[in-house]
Every structure is written in C-alpha cells, then in structure tokens.
C-alpha cells in the first residue's frame, strides 16, 4: 500500500510503537517500534534561472529552431538526465560531522566507491518569452531519516509525515554541491552562483526542497519484515512495497517496486503447501 499508508494501516491495526498507539487508544497487538520509522525520500529542488542572452537559443520561446521539434511539445521539455558523485573531501567532513569521527575512506559505504548522490534534469522552459530555464536537482542518497506517525485513529485521515529533508550534514552537503554544479553552467544570471556562500545556498534549499514522491523504508526489512517479506511477530501478514527497502535506492523507485512485487509472488508461490 506504499510506504506512507502501509505503516499507517499497521499502526491502526495495533502493530507499531506502543506509545504511538496509546495516543489514540488503539489496543496493542504487537509493540513494534520500527513501524513508521526510517522514512527516506529523494528530495527535489526546482530552480528557475534567468537566461543572460536570449539570442543564445537555450529555451522554448527563443528563436532556436531545435525547439520546433515535436518532442519538445510533449510532457517535460527536457532531453537528458545526468547523475553525479560529490567531491570527497567535503563529504568526509560532512560524514565526520554526522558520525562524530573521521570515516575510513576505504571502507565507508559512502566513500569506498563512486556513488550517485545527485541527479540533474534541465527543462528548457519556464516563461513564454524564453527568458527563463528550469533545472531539477534530486538528492539521491539521503542519510537522514524521517517518520510516519498517526494523526488520528481514522483510516481516512492522512498520517503525519516528517520527511526530515536536509536533516544530516551529508544531505545538506550533497544538495549544496548539486546546486553549485548547476549554478556553474554558463549563461545564467548571478542571483545564485557557484561562488555563493553555503549559508545562502542552504537557505534556498531549505526554502524550496520538497518531495521527490519516492517514500521508502517505513517497514524496513530486518527490523520489521524478514527476508520473506513477513511482518515479524505476526502470522500470515506480508508487506510488499517500497516500505520494505532497507536503504534508499539511488534510482527512481518504480523498477525496484516491481522487482519486490515479482519476488514476493515467487516467495508466496514457493511457500504454498
Ligand atoms: C507524481 C509521481 C511521479 C513519479 N514518477 C516516477 C518515475 O518517473 N519513475 C519512477 O521510477 N518512479 C516514479 N514515482 C514513484 C513510484 O510511482 C512509486 O515509488 C511506486 O509506485 C511505489 O510503489 P508501491 O507499490 O510501494 O505503492 P503505490 O504504487 O502507491 O501503490 C499503493 C496502492 O495501494 C493502494 N492503497 C492505499 N491505501 C489503501 C487501503 N487502505 N486499502 C487498499 N488499497 C490501498 C493505493 O490506491 C495504490 O494503488 C512517482 C511517484 C509519484 C507520486
């Protein structure tokens, strides 16, 4: 039922942190503190840039004949996505701030190999006269974790979601580096540049970062479900959606969600009789 509603349904059914259920007088069938914890999401920032030279033909609305091609009339007028790592020195400092000790670059999971930290999509439109262009920045490897809690005992009410975007030094560093990379592209105005201070860029991120619609991890495999997707401590109940992801995927979730569903079908089929 997806990583927001699945923990809500479990909690409303009496499976979850006892103190959370007690707030709404829900009888506790299983005190499971992990339900609704460990939420992660890819944060997204849309930033609109003023184009310095309209005649350069960077945007829909300019005189560039490229944008008369039909593909730029359907959906989002963009044509590539690029994923990037982040510079390691700053990353080491951010990890040290979060973890209280200098990490070992050879073994730390964020340092030992190249990783996808940010994703960038240019959108060649934002104003009819072609004076603006939009960039999309997505943080792909968040280390902060949020939560899903109950707002009431009524299944029709949305739960309380705390995504905790930019909640760790690593997340703030990754987002800042991603935005600086975009600001370094030639031809944009100077309101925000690669030389802007961390404080200035951080304020922009805090003001505008929002959900990438990729919630995951709220019934995390290990703590809440086992490797057969069974909810631990409960007979005959499985969770099959992005809530079981133990760590954030560094790609969009659809493929991994379908893979979990197909694997679940195999597990359930094999367990018959
Ligand atoms: C706007 C948007 C754009 C996205 N774009 C992309 C993309 O381009 N690429 C990509 O890879 N991923 C994308 N995603 C993410 C992807 O769609 C989700 O990660 C994926 O669908 C999650 O699968 P799921 O099975 O966990 O949940 P869902 O696909 O959300 O399925 C949950 C189902 O449970 C049902 N449900 C909820 N509550 C109850 C209830 N009480 N009783 C019965 N049924 C219930 C819902 O109606 C829904 O059908 C996007 C998501 C959004 C919201």
Question: CA–CA separation, 103 vs 161, rounded Å?
Answer: 31
Active site residue 214: yes
Q: What is the pLDDT of residue 206?
A: 95
Average pLDDT of the residues in 75-104: 94
Q: Is residue 202 over pLDDT 90?
A: yes
Question: CA–CA separation, 163 vs 178, rounded Å?
Answer: 20
Distance from the alpha carbon of residue 42 to the mean position of ligand 1, in angstroms = 15
Contact criterion met (CB below 8 Å) for 61 and 135: no
Q: What is the pLDDT of residue 273?
A: 66
Point out the ligand 1 atom lying closest to the alpha carbon of residue 261: 25
Average pLDDT of the residues in 18-31: 98
Distance from the alpha carbon of residue 2 to the mean position of ligand 1, in angstroms = 6
ipTM of the prediction: 0.95
Q: Please pick, among 47, 120, 214, 252, the residue that the annotation labels catalytic.
A: 214
Over residues 127-158, the pLDDT tens digits come to 888 888 899 999 999 999 999 999 999 999 99
| Residue ranges of domains in the chain, CATH in brackets | 1-39+215-273 (3.50.50.60), 42-149+168-213 (3.30.560.10)
Distance from the alpha carbon of residue 190 to the mean position of ligand 1, in angstroms = 38
Which amino acid residue places its CA nearest to atom 34 of ligand 1? Answer: 1
Ranges 57-66, 102-111, 152-161, 175-184: which has the least confidence: 57-66
In the chain, % helix, strand, coil (3-state, to 5) comes to 30, 20, 50
Q: Is residue 191 over pLDDT 80?
A: no
Distance from the alpha carbon of residue 59 to the mean position of ligand 1, in angstroms = 32
β-strand pairing of 15-16 with 160-162: unpaired
Q: What is the pLDDT of residue 54?
A: 84
Model confidence band, residue 126 (pLDDT cutoffs 50, 70, 90): confident
Q: Tokens representing 130?
A: 């072609």
Point out the ligand 1 atom lying closest to the alpha carbon of residue 256: 11
Average pLDDT of the residues in 205-210: 95
Average pLDDT of the residues in 86-91: 96
| CA distances (Å), origin 185, targets 87, 98, 124, 231, 257 | 17, 30, 14, 48, 34
The CA radius of gyration of the chain, in Å to the nearest whole number, is 22
Q: Is residue 239 over pLDDT 90?
A: yes
Model confidence band, residue 231 (pLDDT cutoffs 50, 70, 90): very high
Model confidence band, residue 112 (pLDDT cutoffs 50, 70, 90): very high
Q: Is residue 190 over pLDDT 70?
A: no
Q: What is the pLDDT of residue 114?
A: 93
Point out the ligand 1 atom lying closest to the alpha carbon of residue 260: 25
Task: Write out residues with Cβ below 6 Å of ligand 1.
Answer: 1-2, 5, 9, 213-214, 241-242, 252-254, 257
Over residues 25-77, the pLDDT tens digits come to 999 999 999 999 999 999 999 998 888 888 888 888 888 898 888 888 888 88
Which amino acid residue places its CA nearest to atom 7 of ligand 1? Answer: 252
Mean pLDDT of the chain: 94
């Amino acid at each position: 039922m997806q990583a927001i509603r699945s923990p809500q349904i479990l909690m409303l059914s009496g499976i979850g942190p006892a103190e959370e259920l007690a707030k709404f007088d829900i009888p506790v069938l299983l005190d499971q503190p992990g339900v609704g914890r460990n939420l992660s999401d890819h944060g997204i920032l849309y930033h609109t840039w003023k184009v310095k030279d309209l005649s350069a033909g960077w945007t829909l609305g300019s005189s560039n004949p490229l944008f008369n091609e039909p593909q730029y009339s359907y959906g989002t007028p963009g044509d590539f996505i690029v994923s990037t790592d982040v510079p390691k020195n700053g990353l080491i400092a951010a990890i040290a701030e979060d973890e209280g000790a200098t990490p070992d670059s050879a073994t730390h999971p964020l340092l030992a190999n190249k990783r996808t930290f940010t994703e960038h999509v240019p959108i060649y439109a934002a104003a009819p006269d072609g004076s603006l262009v939009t960039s999309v920045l997505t943080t792909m490897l968040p280390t902060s974790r949020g939560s899903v809690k109950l707002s009431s005992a009524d299944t029709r009410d949305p739960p309380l979601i705390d995504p905790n975007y930019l909640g760790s030094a690593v997340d703030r560093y990754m987002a800042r580096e991603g935005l600086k990379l975009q600001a370094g592209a030639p031809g944009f105005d100077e309101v925000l540049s690669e030389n802007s201070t961390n404080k200035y860029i951080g304020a922009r991120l805090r003001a505008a970062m929002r959900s990438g619609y990729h919630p995951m991890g709220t019934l995390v495999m290990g703590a809440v479900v086992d490797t057969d997707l069974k909810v631990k401590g409960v007979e005959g109940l499985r969770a099959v959606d992005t809530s079981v992801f133990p760590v954030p995927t560094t790609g969009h979730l659809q493929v991994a969600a379908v893979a979990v569903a197909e694997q679940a079908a195999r597990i359930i089929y094999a367990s018959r009789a």
